[in-house]
Amino acid sequence: MEKFIELTLSGIAIGSVYALVALGFVLVFKATDVLNFAHGEFMMLAVFLSLTLLVSWGLNFIVSGIVIAVLMAVLGLVIFFLVMKPLVGQPLFSVVLVTIGIAIILRAVVLITYGPVERGRINVLPQGRFDIGDISVSYIGMILFGVSAISVLAFLWFFNRTRTGLRLKAVAENLEAASAMGISAVAAFAISWGIGALMAGVAGTLYSNFTPVIDTNLSAIGLRAFPAAVLGGLNSIGGAIVGGLIVGIVEQLAAGYLGGEWRDVVAFGLMFVVIIVRPYGLFGTPELIRV
């Protein structure tokens, strides 16, 4: 039982990061119908920016987090206006390929800037552990979960309570109707890309204090967020959060009980099962087309 709880807590910590990344991924998809395969690279870039701001420049964690979030949001906007906006209305395959191209360029930029040598974890946040009975709990895991929860709540508040958020929601729900009501689709798309990248920035800042090694392989987090998003439902914000946590927990339990080689098999296997049973995910809604 003790092992089960420790694995679950570890899964919740890593799942919180998956949830944040999946949230950005789902937001962009929901608003623009674009599967952004560069989202993992956005998070990786944020981790490396943390290295510069927290370690090299010695900035405060919160200041650094805000600067990175803003920089990432700007990057999201730049990518939208320079690359994605001209592709609106183009075939899905072309758009997806472009996001893969963006991922390759971001990896190359990081490699050229930071070099190939791996760095260790950033230890700005507390790294110790505390015991609850026989259960050992890490501070950083709890911080990761707490900050992720606050970020998700802030995101939901923005999406449901602010005028801009409601406009985004309207565009995501029904583009034609929203446009007829005078809501700018381009502005909504741009904001979605900005917020999506910002969420990756928040996730990266947090994860830089959790990951044991910082290298370009961190973009693989994007691959973990993908099943999380699909599992929860690609058009469901809440689903992305739950999906992220489920994938994190299932991965850790599989690795802990069956061995590391089962980690991916179980996570992606679960995704297949859910897709077969509920093609629109656990919390997604089927798209109805009237003919």
Partner 1 sequence: MRNRLRGVFLLLAVFALVAASCSSDDADDTTTTAAAATTTTAAATTTTAGGTDTTAATTTTAAEIGIESNPDEGVTDSAIKLGFMGDITGPTAATQLFFERGISCYLDFANSQGGVADREFELFTEDDAFSVEDAVVNFQKLVEDDQVIAILGQGGSHIMSAIDVDVADAGVPFIGPQQTIDIQFANPYVFNVLAHYGDQADVAVARMIEDVGGAENLVVASIGLEVASGLEWGVYVKDTTEKLGATYTEHINVPITGTEADAQVIRIEELIDSDGLNYLALHGSPGAALRVLNSMDAAGVDLPIGGIFATIAENVFIEGPADLIDTFWGVHTYTPSNVSTPGNDELNAFVAGTACEEFASNVNFVGGWVVAKLAVEGVKRAAADGTLGRQVLADAIKRIDDFDTGGQSPALSCTREGSHCGAAARPYEWDGTGLQPVGEFADWSDTLDLIYGLG
- The residues of the shown chain that bind partner 1, judged by CB under 8 A, are 3, 6-7, 10, 14, 82, 86, 108, 111, 116-121, 127, 129, 136, 138, 140, 210-213, 215-218, 220-221, 223, 251-252, 255-256, 259-261, 263-264
- If the CB atoms of residues 111 and 187 are measured against partner 1, the closer one turns out to be 111
- Which lies closer to partner 1 via its Cβ, residue 117 or residue 288? 117
Which residues lie across from 131 on neighbouring strands?
Answer: 136
CB of 204 to partner 1, least distance (A): 12
Q: How far is CA 102 from the centre of its chain?
A: 16
Query: At 193, is the secondary structure helix, strand, or coil?
Result: helix
**Cβ-based nearer residue to partner 1, 52 or 169:** 52
Q: Which is nearer to partner 1, 171 or 225 (CB)?
A: 225
Nearer to partner 1, 61 or 268 (CB): 268
As measured in angstroms, the least distance from the Cβ of 129 to partner 1 is 6
d(CA 72, CA 273): 34
Helices 185-207 and 2-32, axial angle in degrees (round to 10): 160
Phi/psi at 89 (5° precision): 90, -5
Shortest Å distance, C-beta 28 to partner 1: 21
Distance between CA atoms of 117 and 114, rounded to whole angstroms?
A: 8
* Residue number, 50 or 236, with CB nearest to partner 1: 50
Task: Determine phi and psi for 289, rounding to 5 degrees.
Answer: -115, 120
Give the C-alpha separation, 249 to 255, whole Å. Answer: 10
CB of 232 to partner 1, least distance (A): 20
Tokens at 21, concatenated: 């990344």
Tokens (6 digits) for 232: 């929860």
Q: How far is the CB of 77 from partner 1 (least distance, A)?
A: 14
- Least distance in angstroms from the C-beta of 215 to partner 1: 5
* 68, 55 contact by CB (below 8 A): no
Contacts of 249 (CB under 8 A, 6+ apart): 7, 8, 11, 12, 15
Q: Which is nearer to partner 1, 79 or 231 (CB)?
A: 79
Nearest distance in Å: CB 226, partner 1: 12
